[in-house]
């Protein structure tokens, strides 16, 4: 008798939830992406699962082979900050040993884990979806466009968020249209990220037909001519989703 596959929980984005999303970007090549993905997944899948405040973890791979994205969701900013503090205080040695336990290669190959070139924490600024649907990344095999924006000041970050609101207003008129769109605001750095979900790769015969959602600062922005805005835009497929280990309750 066939056994049903384990249900993969979606990554839900609710602006009222207070959840924090932490995004790490890895630079790869078409030749190294697969090995880097395996290494990142192996070192993270068990490490996070029992940490207080952790919700879930996902890995995204870009179709062109140049990027991997690791995204973790946390209950709130306090739980994520407590986790970061634990890595630099008296509990750091325990966490280090715990981490090293899960970085050991069971097959003896021990591939090196590439360090991310960027890690940033985000809060949810806006999240939209069609009526009756939730703003979410549904799980493995989902097609997601991730557009990252880095600005030089908090003031320019606000300008970019205002411009993003205008982009959100155009989404219902797109064809095809994303299933959901999420705007993330950097917590302690002037970053903005725009995530949009487009179903699965198998729904498209030509991925170039996926509309590119991007944020263009309006004419009201005081641009002195300096390069204050950098962008990184890619289409990704969700490769793995891991949820927090459920609490066990005693029998009545």
pLDDT one-digit tens code per residue, 72-113: 999 999 999 998 888 776 555 554 555 555 555 444 434 455
Answer for the pair 218, 171: CB distance below 8 angstroms, yes or no: no
Q: What is the pLDDT of residue 172?
A: 84
Q: What pLDDT is recorded for position 31?
A: 94
The predicted structure's pLDDT at residue 94: 54
> In the prediction, which pLDDT does 49 show?
82
Give the burial string for 194-220 (b: 16+ CB within 10 Å, else e).
bbbbbbeeeeeeeeeebeebebebeee
pLDDT per residue as tens digits for the range 123-154: 999 999 988 999 999 888 899 999 988 888 88
* DSSP secondary structure letters along 55-83: EEEEEEEETTSSEEEEEEEES-HHHHHHH
Q: Hey, what domains does the chain have and what are their CATH numbers? A: 11-117 (3.30.70.100), 122-238 (3.30.70)
Asked if residues 48 and 54 have their Cβ atoms less than 8 Å apart, the reply is yes
Q: Cβ neighbours of residue 36 under 8 Å, at least 6 residues apart?
A: 26, 28, 68, 113, 114
3-state secondary structure at position 196: strand
Chain centre to alpha carbon of residue 9: 15
Helix (H, G, I), strand (E, B) or coil at 141: coil
Q: What pLDDT score does 90 carry?
A: 52
Residue 222 DSSP code: -
Task: Give every residue of the chain whose pLDDT is below 70, as ranges.
Answer: 1-8, 89-113, 218-228, 246-252
């Amino acid at each position: 008798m066939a056994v049903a596959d384990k249900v993969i929980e979606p990554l839900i984005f609710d602006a009222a939830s207070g959840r924090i999303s932490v995004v790490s970007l890895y630079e790869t090549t078409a030749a190294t992406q697969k090995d880097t993905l395996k290494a990142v997944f192996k070192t993270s899948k068990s490490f996070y699962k029992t940490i207080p405040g952790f919700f879930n973890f996902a890995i995204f791979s870009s179709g062109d082979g140049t990027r991997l994205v690791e995204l973790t969701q946390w209950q709130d900013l306090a739980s994520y900050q407590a986790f970061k503090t634990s890595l630099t205080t008296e509990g750091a040695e325990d966490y280090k040993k715990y981490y090293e336990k899960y970085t050991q290669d069971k097959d003896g190959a021990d591939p090196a884990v590439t360090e991310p070139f960027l890690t940033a924490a985000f809060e949810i600024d806006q999240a939209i979806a069609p009526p009756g649907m939730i703003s979410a990344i549904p799980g493995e095999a989902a097609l997601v466009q991730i557009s990252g924006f880095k600005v030089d000041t908090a003031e320019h970050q606000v300008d970019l968020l205002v411009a993003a609101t205008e982009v959100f207003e155009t989404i219902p008129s797109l064809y095809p249209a994303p299933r959901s769109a999420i705007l993330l605001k950097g917590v302690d750095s002037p970053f903005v990220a725009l995530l949009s979900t487009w179903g699965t790769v198998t729904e498209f015969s030509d991925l170039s037909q996926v509309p590119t959602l991007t944020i263009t600062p309006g004419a009201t922005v005081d641009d002195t001519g300096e390069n204050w805005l950098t962008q990184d835009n890619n289409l990704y497929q969700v490769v793995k989703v891991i949820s927090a280990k459920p609490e066990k309750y005693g029998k009545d």
